[in-house]
Structure 1
Amino acid sequence: MSPTAWGGVLGATAALGILLVASRVAALRRPHLGLRVLPYLRDVPRIGQPVRPVASPAGASPFHAASEVFGPGVRAAADLVERVLGGSASVRRRLDRLGVEMTVHEFRVEQVFWGLGGFGLVAGVQVLRALSGPVSPVAALILCGVGFGTGVLLRDNRLSAQVTRRERQMVVEFPVVAELLALSVAAGESPVAALDRVVRRCRGELARELGGLLARIRTGESVGQAFDRLASTTGLELVARFSRGVAVAVERGTPLADVLHAQAADVREAGRRALIESAARREVAMMAPVVFLVLPVTIVFAFFPGAIGLRLMAP
């Protein structure tokens, strides 16, 4: 075959590869059907599940495909973890506080995969040790079991850390949201209309939580009952106090705007007080390196030349 023909074949192959890559990139960039449809159905209730704003389509978890492929074994391992650890009520409460559409069983499945990751990491280390010298099989098996348990517990700790981070964000967002609600109510809007305006205008974890509350109200639940449920499920005392205050104000007809303004002021004052206390603790903590590191070095540098001079002058 002539060089020209070879060039044509190579050019056609390269063009075909570029076409395949471009088509695949275009397919990946195309929005998923769930992402296009579910935002319009966010207020539709689901039987047996708490109503929450839709954050991601079903099956978006990175462990979803693996759990579908290895379904029976993974489910059995998740049931075993549930029997050993227990505490499903605590997990359910933390998942509700995190605001994710995940069951306790799905969380146990993720714990199993985290445990398998720890097991594989420790097993890899043991294999490398076996290549360089003898390794006790019993000790290696025990260490692999410890790795599995560590992975399971790390997933539980990560859930607690996610809940804490989300609640901190809600504390930061609360004064702004409360002020916006107060302004909307003072302008003549009803509590439901004020909630709708705030949820549509705000972005954040507290707005998501209020979006779920608004969805429950639109599906037939009364405003007082919705806020009472939020007060019973949240892990933040200020949000619970806010929910109970709104529920009482709606039921008894007290001025809601004044209640919201007062609660926003209380939260800002509590945040300022917490900041001052944190600064005081950090000031004390900063004294430790100064006293135990900087000061001794300064004393050594100040007295060492004098000690050397006295030694030289001594007969």
Structure 2
Amino acid sequence: MNSYTAWAALCGLGLGAGLWLMIVRLPAWRPMAFADRVAPHIRVGVRSSRMLQDSWQQDSATPALWQLARPLLQQVKKIANLHSPSSTTVRKRLQAAGLRLSLVDYRSQELLCALTGLVVGSALMALLAFRQSVSLPLAVTVVLGCAVMGYFLRGWWLGEQVKRRARRILTQFPTVAEVLALTVGAGESTTGAVERISRICHGDIGAEFTHTLNDIHSGTSMVQAMSNMSDRVQIGAMTRFVDAIVVATERGTPLGQVLRDQAQDVRDASKRELMEIAGKREISMLVPIIFGVLPLTIVFAIFPGLALLEMSY
């Protein structure tokens, strides 16, 4: 690859980035936030229209190049916040994934993945340079791209860990909710029911109930311990279940009936999820049938007739 091809690739990359920036900044692709929609109706003390204000005059002290580059920088910042969230969000995701990692350890793993990508990209470019000439801009782009890909790969894997653990918990949760409702309905206290579940359940949900029981034994109230478990897991069904327990405990509602109703709701939610998954699988099964089996059947049906027509001639 000569230098002209490398410069053409870089120019094409810049053109694609510019077109992408223009598309994503269109009004249809950037919906207005709720605060922006409500702000004009609750703002007081504004006597003139905001449309009459000149943003260029307000930012007259800012260089024009900075004002032109501001949308691109805001988009880059948005993507960076998406793939590298704040410390609080990272801690919540680590708890939802069931990892006992500190924030420093996770950031260290991100840097290690970036360094691994940097080394892999450098090795690939070195092997390619031994066989043919490689331009410097292309080599730098590939090496930096591998480093960024390695950095983003750690966040992607964390998201996959969160999804897999949530799927495992949702699989076990209907049975646990039913057992909890039966235990409380039999006359046992809520703390005793949680202790029983932590003894007989295994896996991720058993570990969460064990953690909740340890919090209760350490002096935390049952309501706060259950709320902490809901915050750690971050699953909608469990959040609603815990909220129902908290409301019933605070208001003095009979907890057995509430738990039975919530267990039935969890069962219904799991059935709906299974129906949705089955519907998606049916659509996926149509792809090999339409593009594989059906053309082959048509060929088997038409080929004998074509062969007879050729033999008749």
In structure 2, the CA distance between the partners of 1:98 and 1:288, relative to structure 1 (3 Å rule), is closer
Q: Is 2:135 aligned against 1:136?
A: yes
Show the counterpart of 2:112: 113
Show the counterpart of 1:62: none
Partners of 2:238 and 2:104 lie apart in 1 by: 28
Partners of 2:187 and 2:303 lie apart in 1 by: 77
| 1:199, distance to aligned residue in structure 2 (A) | 0.8
The code of the aligned residue for 2:265 comes to D
Instruction: Tell me the number of residue pairs that the alignment of Structure 1 and Structure 2 aligns.
Output: 233
Partners of 2:107 and 2:310 lie apart in 1 by: 72
Does the Cα contact within 8 Å between 2:195 and 2:213 map onto a contact in 1? yes
| 1:216, distance to aligned residue in structure 2 (A) | 1.9
Does the Cα contact within 8 Å between 1:223 and 1:250 map onto a contact in 2? no
Pairing of 1:163-178 with structure 2 (within 5 A): 163-178=162-177
| 1:170, distance to aligned residue in structure 2 (A) | 0.8
Identity of aligned residues (%): 37
Residues 305-314 or 260-269, more deviating: 305-314
Does the Cα contact within 8 Å between 2:166 and 2:233 map onto a contact in 1? no
Question: Where does structure 1 differ by over 4 angstroms across 4 or more consecutive aligned residues?
Answer: none
Partners of 2:158 and 2:166 lie apart in 1 by: 12
Residues 119-128 or 86-95, more deviating: 86-95
Does the Cα contact within 8 Å between 1:224 and 1:248 map onto a contact in 2? no
Show the counterpart of 1:30: none
Q: Is 2:207 aligned against 1:200?
A: no
Partners of 2:297 and 2:128 lie apart in 1 by: 47
| 1:184, distance to aligned residue in structure 2 (A) | 2.4
Pairing of 1:2-81 with structure 2 (within 5 A): none
| 1:243, distance to aligned residue in structure 2 (A) | 0.8
**TM-score computed with the length of structure 2 as normaliser:** 0.68
In angstroms, what is the RMSD of aligned CA positions? 2.2
Partners of 1:262 and 1:177 lie apart in 2 by: 14
Q: Is 2:141 aligned against 1:152?
A: no
Partners of 2:305 and 2:272 lie apart in 1 by: 49
Partners of 1:237 and 1:299 lie apart in 2 by: 48
The C-alpha deviation readout for 1:66-94, integer Å capped at 9, x for no partner, is: xxxxxxxxxxxxxxx99x94533321221
Show the counterpart of 1:179: 178
Partners of 1:219 and 1:120 lie apart in 2 by: 47
| 1:151, distance to aligned residue in structure 2 (A) | 0.8
| 1:233, distance to aligned residue in structure 2 (A) | 4.4
Show the counterpart of 1:43: none
SS at match of 2:309: helix
SS at match of 2:188: coil
Q: Is 2:105 aligned against 1:92?
A: no
Does the Cα contact within 8 Å between 1:174 and 1:206 map onto a contact in 2? yes
The code of the aligned residue for 2:238 comes to V
| 1:275, distance to aligned residue in structure 2 (A) | 1.5
The C-alpha deviation readout for 1:215-240, integer Å capped at 9, x for no partner, is: 22222221122223333443211111
Show the counterpart of 1:283: 282
Structure 2: give runs of 5+ residues left out of the alignment.
1-79
Partners of 2:289 and 2:162 lie apart in 1 by: 36
Partners of 2:97 and 2:297 lie apart in 1 by: 50
Does the Cα contact within 8 Å between 2:198 and 2:206 map onto a contact in 1? yes
The C-alpha deviation readout for 1:187-218, integer Å capped at 9, x for no partner, is: 33221122112112211111211222222222
Does the Cα contact within 8 Å between 1:198 and 1:207 map onto a contact in 2? yes
The C-alpha deviation readout for 1:65-124, integer Å capped at 9, x for no partner, is: xxxxxxxxxxxxxxxx99x94533321221121233322222111011111112222222
In structure 2, the CA distance between the partners of 1:85 and 1:171, relative to structure 1 (3 Å rule), is closer
In structure 2, the CA distance between the partners of 1:104 and 1:313, relative to structure 1 (3 Å rule), is same
Show the counterpart of 1:125: 124
SS at match of 1:189: coil
Show the counterpart of 1:75: none
Show the counterpart of 1:231: 230
Structure 1: give runs of 5+ residues left out of the alignment.
1-80
The code of the aligned residue for 2:305 comes to G
In structure 2, the CA distance between the partners of 1:203 and 1:86, relative to structure 1 (3 Å rule), is closer
Show the counterpart of 1:22: none
The C-alpha deviation readout for 1:136-179, integer Å capped at 9, x for no partner, is: 23322221111111111010010010011111111111122222
Show the counterpart of 1:272: 271
The code of the aligned residue for 2:272 comes to R
**TM-score computed with the length of structure 1 as normaliser:** 0.68
Partners of 1:85 and 1:176 lie apart in 2 by: 36
Show the counterpart of 2:260: 261
Does the Cα contact within 8 Å between 2:185 and 2:256 map onto a contact in 1? yes
